[in-house]
A and B are shown apart, each in its own frame.
Chain A
Amino acid sequence: MKFPDLSMSNPIRLRDLIRQIRSAKTAAEERAVVQKECAYIRDSFRDEDNTWRCRNVAKLLYVSLLGYPAHFGQLECLKLIASTRFTDKRIGYLGAMLLLDERQDIHVLITNSLKNDLNHSNQYIAGLALCALGSICSPEMSRDLGGEVEKLMKSSNPYLKKKAVLCAVRIIRKVPEQFDVFQNSIRSLLSEKNHGVLLTATALIIEMCKQNSQALQIFRKLVPNLVRILKNLIMSGYSPEHDVSGISDPFLQVHLLRLMRILGRNDIEASETMNDILAQVSTNTENSKNVGNAILYETVLTIMDIKSESGLRVLAVNILGRFLLNNDKNIRYVALNTLLRVVHADHNAVQRHRATIVECLKDADVSIKRRAMELCFALINSNNIRTMITEMLTFLGTCEPEFKADCTSNMFLAMERFSPSKRWHVDQMIKVLTTAGNSVRDDIVSSLIGIISSAPDLHGYTAYQLFKIIRNDITQQPLVQVALWTLGEFGDLFVSEQYQHTDDQENIQVSEEEIVNILEKILNWSISTVITREYAINALMKLSTRFPSCSDQIQSVMTVYACNMNLELQTRAVEYTALFTKHNPIRSSIVQRMPVLVSTQTSNTNNEETTYEQEDSSSTNGISSVTQNEPVEDLFKILDEPSHTNGSNNLNSHNNIFDLLNSDDQQINTSSTPLEDILFDDNLPKSQSNNNFTSSIPSMNVIDKNGLCVTFQFEKQDQLLLIHLQATNSTQTPIKNFTFKAAVPKTFTLELLPPTSTTIPSNNTGDIRQIIKISNPNKEKLRMRIKINYSYNDSQMNDEAELNSFPQQCYN
């Protein structure tokens, strides 16, 4: 006789297990409880015990929520699903949704049970099956069961219908070809009264349109139906079942608006049909609570995306403006986000809200601040540049470190574009560098040096200002680097008072020794980075000729550094020491003042590359990792907008410059220096003759390096600008395989005629000539990037430059 196994009592109930786990005092205790129970459960699964399977699986689901492994329960879920009891199925399907996913092979096994349950007479069982299918189906299951789902979509029971429709959404996501199976049922779904069915049908249409442009054509015909449904929703009286704070079924309203957006995009007819209802929703929706604002938000997104009339767009921007004043920070966030998307298209409308946007810079939320910052930069123009830069400087002083790099880069770009005067520009940039400390990007230093160099009348002034700052503080590397370069080049100007003082300057007498001492201090300071010290050593060298009295001091510094551990510093110091001794006669000509730099024409092409090509995401923390365009990138898109805001802005011109560089369509612009701008009179007559190259527009030296000299001469012919390129070679060896490439912003058109040859003979005995035709219908400022390749002495050479300062006559 077999005695009943008294130790094998009923398994503990779910709540008792939960209570036990929660009363565990330590993690170890909890683990012990869980492991003991799991062991028991595993045993009972092995014993194929039907009675308590349901309870055991439920317990397993609980511990899996706590993070413990529960995969051994997967098969049990399948058995529960196959059971006839509703209780079992309910837990079984839940378990399947939580423990199985399409990666497991095991989950295909539920396909058969699903098929049976989908056809069950009890709607709740069919509902469970549909729910599981909609949550975890794989492509194979989708193909197997698609037909069943479609059948249920036609059921008269709205409970099953809506679930089947959402299943269909998932199925076509997994297997887009199934689209054909479902598309015929759509139209009838939209004529249902049941909100659940309408809502899910809208979701299905949205998914279909996302996948398939053919669907767009088909469903555009439904726009009047959608308008009608939406209209009924907002006009109908109070319906308690679907009401949320006085608004009738906001979920459905938002879905309809979203579908309308997809259908109205790029289609004028559909957009026109929607105009009225959009206006109605915008004006009638109650905006005191979040739910109303959610609808208004969706409406604004729709208006902005379709081909709506301008009055409606202004209405939308005004709604966003009102959002900005809302106390609810979520609404402010959403408004800023949306404004950022529309600022290019509706620039003037957004400008009206500039003051509010600037206020948002002071918000406590980091994401709001970031968006406000991006928006501010998008709104800067020549009218508001001064006030905006002041605001941004204040912001820069108080913002989080992750913003500083982007902020400074953007400020730099904005000032480059719009600054009213060079002096203001230089002043502001110095302030920026002082405020931003070490978070400034490297290319800003070289760009600023370019700017300083290009303003000769400000050389002394700038040197003086920078000297005053570094006299007190040498911790900020970018600022110090700029200061070092400037003092090295122009330090002698303000010492000997060869520049204009303005009235508010105190005339401090600065001696040459003082300057040299500061430079030496920076050089010797351990906190200075290697780059800074390289700048310092160069600057000192330059000053050795400008300040002859300090020449000995400088020479001894060089001798000391000739033994420095850092290779670069040592190399330079050794070379410079040689300049003092063996090559003393040529020292003054070597370190002579540099000619004015033409824009950012440096040989360090890598630096430029990082400025203009895809900016890698600034390394912000995980929380505020921005998925939107970098502000710098956005600003580049703006840079190519014409100054009169017409609608046909191409936002990708800067990136396209590089596309063009890689193709064979090459054109070259020339630019003259600002000095020549000042010197030449605008009223000179323009010559029209083709052979006469002495036009009124000054010619320009583009490249003068390693013996290769390229010049551009301009000629205006009606609306076209002709550039005559001439390349000569003063070396002993001919230059072969010479090719020019160039790219301009998209609003220009370029035509490059074939060159006369690809070889430049040596010793200036011949040249290459090439003609470039540029048309500039928008009369924008010319900019161009050029690239040359050639072989010289059997080695491949190449060079690149960015040309920004073309003579005004080129494009006026």
Chain B
Amino acid sequence: MIQFILLFSRQGKLRLQKWYTSQTDKSKKKITREIIAAVLSRKPKMSSFLEWKDLKVVYKRYASLYFCCAIEQDDNELLTLETIHRYVELLDKYFGSVCELDIIFNFEKAYFIFDEFILGGEVQETSKKSVLKAVNDQDVIQEEELEEKRSVLEDLGLA
């Protein structure tokens, strides 16, 4: 099971975080700081795996973003690399050539995509198509609602 996942920039700014264990805010901040420091200090020649407390941290850098996943001892590290890659592919497909700015300005969409791919720390869907369809369908519902609201406000002369 994935215990938590962190996305951060090369300057150490957090862009996305998802926790599947219950932690206080203070402890989340502390853990985040430690992991970011540990990952940023790794040299390029090193492997993508870190030992941290009793967890394994798998990280991979895509352009200016580090994707960091903390898994348990009996999880498969190489597969976790594939999981991270799959998430990046999903983001890429959704945003069209995704870059860090997309994730900054549309962080809630990044979360929505993530929640269609992984649930409770486990992968729920292995078909890229299905994940993106679910996200897109929900986006459509949102847009329809927005249209509705706008037209109501226009009717009232308040738009």
Contact = CB atoms under 8 A, between A and B. Distances in A.
B45 to A, nearest CB: 4
Contacts of B15: 65
Contacts of B123: 199, 251
Interface string A103-136: 1000000000000000000101001001100111
B124 to A, nearest CB: 5
Contacts of A293: 78
Contact of B82 (A195, A290, A334): A290
A352 B146 CA distance: 67
Contact of A244 (B82, B115, B129, B141): B82
A301 B38 CA distance: 28
B23 A242 contact: no
Interface stretch (A362-370, A590-598, A736-744): A362-370
A65 B16 contact: yes
B88 interface: no
A627 interface: yes
A250 B48 contact: no
Given A124-B137, A134-B119, A244-B82, A364 B46 contact: yes
B112 A334 contact: no
What is the size category of the interface that chain A forms with chain B?
Answer: 35 or more
Contact of B51 (A87, A98, A203, A625): A625
What is the size category of the interface that chain B forms with chain A?
Answer: 35 or more
Interface stretch (A161-169, A387-395, A546-554): A161-169
Contacts of A127: 134
Interface string A161-188: 0110011011000000000000000000
B146 to A, nearest CB: 7
B49 interface: yes
Given A159-B134, A199-B126, A242-B126, A131 B119 contact: yes
A297 interface: yes
A294 B81 CA distance: 9
Interface in A686-712: none
A367 B119 contact: no
Contacts of B41: 623
Contacts of B52: 622, 625
A623 B38 contact: yes
B47 to A, nearest CB: 4
Interface stretch (B62-70, B91-99, B102-110): B102-110
A627 B51 contact: yes
A67 B43 CA distance: 27
Contact of B50 (A122, A203, A301, A623): A623
A623 B51 CA distance: 7
Interface in B102-159: 104-105, 107-108, 111-112, 115, 119-120, 122-130, 134, 137-138, 141-142, 145-146
Contacts of B128: 241
Contact of A90 (B14, B76, B112): B112
Interface in A243-295: 244, 249-252, 254, 258, 290-291, 293-294
A167 B120 contact: yes
Interface in A512-538: none
A101 interface: yes
A62 interface: yes
A124 B112 CA distance: 12
B154 to A, nearest CB: 14
Interface in B67-89: 73-74, 76-79, 81-83, 86
B8 to A, nearest CB: 11
A103 B76 contact: no
A329 B125 contact: no
Contacts of B134: 124, 127, 159
A169 B124 CA distance: 12
A624 interface: yes
Given A135-B119, A251-B123, A622-B38, A86 B142 contact: yes
Contacts of B125: 162, 195-196, 199
Given A124-B137, A134-B119, A196-B126, A329 B79 contact: no
A80 to B, nearest CB: 13
A103 B27 CA distance: 13
B76 A65 contact: no
B22 A67 contact: no
Of B73, B76, B137, the most chain A CB neighbours within 10 A belong to B76
Contact of A249 (B16, B38, B126): B126
Contact of A329 (B16, B47, B137): B47
Contacts of B54: 627
Contacts of A290: 78, 81-82
Contacts of B78: 290, 293-294, 297, 330-331, 334
Given A251-B123, A334-B77, A622-B38, A61 B145 contact: no
A627 B53 contact: yes
A251 B82 contact: yes
Interface in A214-244: 241-242, 244
A15 B102 CA distance: 11
A291 B50 CA distance: 20
Nearest to A200: B124
Contacts of A244: 82, 86
Interface string A627-651: 1000000000000000000000000
Contact of B142 (A61, A90, A169): A90
Contacts of B124: 162-163, 166, 196, 199-200
A353 to B, nearest CB: 19
A124 B46 CA distance: 42
A166 B53 CA distance: 26
A669 B107 CA distance: 70
Interface string A596-633: 00000000000000000000000000111111000000
Nearest to B38: A623
Given A196-B126, A203-B122, A102 B22 contact: yes
29 contacts: A22-B104, A67-B29, A85-B145, A86-B138, A86-B145, A87-B141, A94-B108, A97-B18, A101-B22, A102-B22, A103-B24, A124-B138, A135-B119, A162-B125, A163-B119, A167-B120, A169-B122, A195-B125, A195-B127, A200-B124, A241-B127, A251-B123, A254-B76, A254-B79, A290-B82, A297-B78, A330-B47, A333-B47, A625-B51
Given A199-B124, A298-B76, A624-B51, 15 more contacts: A22-B104, A65-B15, A87-B145, A91-B108, A97-B18, A135-B20, A167-B119, A196-B126, A199-B126, A258-B76, A294-B78, A301-B76, A330-B77, A367-B51, A368-B47
